[in-house]
Amino acid sequence: MKRIIYAVGTLILFVLGLVLILNQRTKPVAEDRVLIHENCTVIMVGKKASVDGSTMTTHTADCGMCDWTWRYVPAADHRPGETRKIYRISQVRTWPPEEGLKWDLIKRDFTGLEIPEVPHTFGYLHGVFGYINDQQLAIGESTIGNRSKMSNHTQTPAFNITMLSLLAMERCRTAREAITLMGSLAEKYGYGGEDGGEMLAVADPEEVWVFEIMPVGPLWTPDSGQPGAVWCAQRVPDDQVSVCPNESRIGQIDLDNPDYFMASSNVISYAVENKFWNPQGGQPFSWKKAYSPVEGSADKQPRRSRMWRFFDLVCPSAGFPASLPNMDFPFSVKPDKLLSVKDVMNLTRDKGYGTFFDPVRGLRGGPFKNPNYDDSARLISSRTVEYTTVTQGRSWLPSEIGGLVWLAWGTQDTSCFMPFYAGIKAFPSSFSQGDHWVLNRQSARWAFDYVDFHTQVAYSVAIEDIRKAQETWEDGAIKQIPEIDRQATEFYKRNKKKASDFLTAFCLNNADQVVKAWWQLGDELLVKFNHLNYYNVERRAIERKKMDFPENWKKAVKFIDIIYEDAKTF
């Protein structure tokens, strides 16, 4: 009788689950596809919200198949009359290595537009986007989508978000300069093509801004006399933090307060003309509700969990409920405690343990509590990420020394953040090699994927070895930074080139050591957990024992077997 009850109960739960799934799939939700499939989380920290007074931004470059190579673009002087060619650059497109590097091959997609070059362009560090230049201008990106009517996938717009970020890196010293430049170029020459609604965290050592930009529909032409984009920017208060989890973050705006808001001339008129907002409707204008409205909250739609989880982590005292619609979260909050760069790194690694979307609760994580088995929730930490960046702007140091980008290849939880100063003049050659389809031991990225792959077999035990390696190399680098800053500053006072050479040598040497350590770590994990055994590497063949599954897992499996057998007979 008990077995029949189990079987009937199981059947009822199955049917209810199926109904809920179908209802979720058919429910009309105003969202762009990118909100479902992408996981580019950007975290922003004002200078008075950080432990050391630095501004910080992050970027989770989530794609799963994008070009991952990095390069250094040197500063340059230009002659009068020179022009800058504008290219169509896809965020996600990649080429086989035998065809060449992406940043050479983009020149095949010249838009036909050339704009006047400036006398001097700044040097910068560049991955999918430009991340930091030698003036400490820093950027992080998150795709946010837009109303379908606004999309413009034609070849008419000359600019997309990647090209705008490169021009900002080349030409701008401050966040405000960068926003003004990108906005004006997009208005004049058009924005769209490869991209729709996009958000950039734009920071300098003093300020952090959220810059959001969207196309204005497929009928726009340069001859229309209308702006070729609609954009808005809001400053994060110095003592606060903010986040963008692939959703528009700017709500009500106050253009009479230019210290905190900037926007295109059509920011409100375009919404009125297209009936996205009714000025007589009794509701104040909201940028995100007009141009990129989304439905849902963390408890109803776990793919929206990143918004709630961020605020829950940085400001638990506020008690934001998981049922709060994402559109109703504040733009920013004052954190309960000041954040260090390590705190921000840990935020990028968050898996939501202990929350209602914990990926290892119950049986979801398997016998070794692997958080990557359950992808129903969109977590801050992403298993498909190409790399993650954390930038720092530090006003008390010369720009070449004050600017830092911390880079972690692959999945955050099994990787290691490595520091690169804004003033370096090169990356390791291994940073410009490799693709997703061929394992390449000359490619830095593959070292971290190699470790990650071997971690999946016995996650809960393997991750402990990785955390020890992170403590050695990541925490070790963080501890070194104050002394490297000091020495570099001494060099800088006497000879800027020597300071740059010193920083380049430090960063390249540290990166080479970390990459070698991760290749070795991958080999060790393969041996240590081979055939689901524990091999004591230190004692060689003297000690080997079978890896046993946790008792609660074995009991759960037996219970499911009983239900399965009863369901068959029922």
Q: Count CB neighbours of 206 within 10 A.
A: 15
Instruction: Please write the tens of the pLDDT for every residue from 100-119.
Output: 889 999 999 999 999 999 99
pLDDT at 73 over 60: yes
**H/E element, 76:** strand 76-77
pLDDT of residue 58: 98
Q: Check residue 465 and report its DSSP letter.
A: H
Q: Which two tokens stand for residue 438?
A: 């061929």
| 191 Cβ contact partners less than 8 Å away, ≥ 6 residues apart | 152, 157, 159, 160, 164, 213, 214, 215, 216, 228, 229, 231
pLDDT of residue 561: 80
Q: How far apart are CA 329 and CA 325, in angstroms?
A: 7
CB 279 within 8 A of CB 301: no
Q: What CA–CA distances, in Å, run from 138 to 125, 361, 402?
A: 10, 38, 12
Position with higher pLDDT, 532 vs 177 = 177
Q: How far apart are CA 479 and CA 476, in angstroms?
A: 5
Tell me how far apart the 2 most distant CA atoms of the chain are, in Å.
Answer: 90
* Beta-bridge partners for 209: 202, 235
Q: How far apart are CA 305 and CA 245, in angstroms?
A: 9
CB 392 within 8 A of CB 481: no
Instruction: Please write the tens of the pLDDT for every residue from 278-288.
Output: 999 999 999 99
Q: How far apart are CA 205 and CA 137, in angstroms?
A: 8
* Average pLDDT score over the chain: 91
- The whole-number average pLDDT for the span 175-180 is 98
Q: How far apart are CA 23 and CA 556, in angstroms?
A: 29
In the chain, the amino acid numbered 183 is G
pLDDT at 30 over 50: no
Q: Count CB neighbours of 55 within 10 A.
A: 28
pLDDT at 9 over 60: no
Instruction: Please write the tens of the pLDDT for every residue from 246-266.
Output: 999 999 999 999 999 999 999
For strand 76-77 and strand 110-116, is the pairing parallel, antiparallel, or unpaired? unpaired
CB 450 within 8 A of CB 489: no
Q: How far apart are CA 547 and CA 530, in angstroms?
A: 10
Burial class (CB in 10 A: 0-12, 13-18, 19+), 257: exposed
Instruction: Please write the tens of the pLDDT for every residue from 447-501.
Output: 999 999 999 999 999 999 999 999 999 999 999 999 999 999 999 999 999 999 9
Q: Which two tokens stand for residue 42?
A: 């950007």
- The whole-number average pLDDT for the span 235-250 is 98
User: pTM for the full model?
Assistant: 0.92
- The whole-number average pLDDT for the span 324-333 is 98
CB 431 within 8 A of CB 502: no
- The whole-number average pLDDT for the span 328-335 is 98
SS3 514: helix
Q: Count CB neighbours of 427 within 10 A.
A: 22
pLDDT of residue 534: 80
Torsion of CA 330, 336, 340, 342, to 10 degrees: -90
CB 310 within 8 A of CB 275: no
* Confidence tier at 543 by pLDDT (50, 70, 90): low
CB 57 within 8 A of CB 156: no
* Confidence tier at 57 by pLDDT (50, 70, 90): very high
SS3 12: helix
Following DSSP, what letter does each residue of 398-455 receive, concatenated?
Answer: -HHHH-EEEEEES-GGG---EEEETT-----GGGG---SSS--TT-HHHHHHHHHHHH
pLDDT of residue 540: 59
**217-221, 340-344, 434-438, 497-501: the lowest-pLDDT one:** 434-438
Q: Which two tokens stand for residue 72?
A: 């250094």
Instruction: Please write the tens of the pLDDT for every residue from 432-442.
Output: 998 989 999 99
pLDDT at 218 over 90: yes
Burial class (CB in 10 A: 0-12, 13-18, 19+), 519: middle
SS3 58: strand
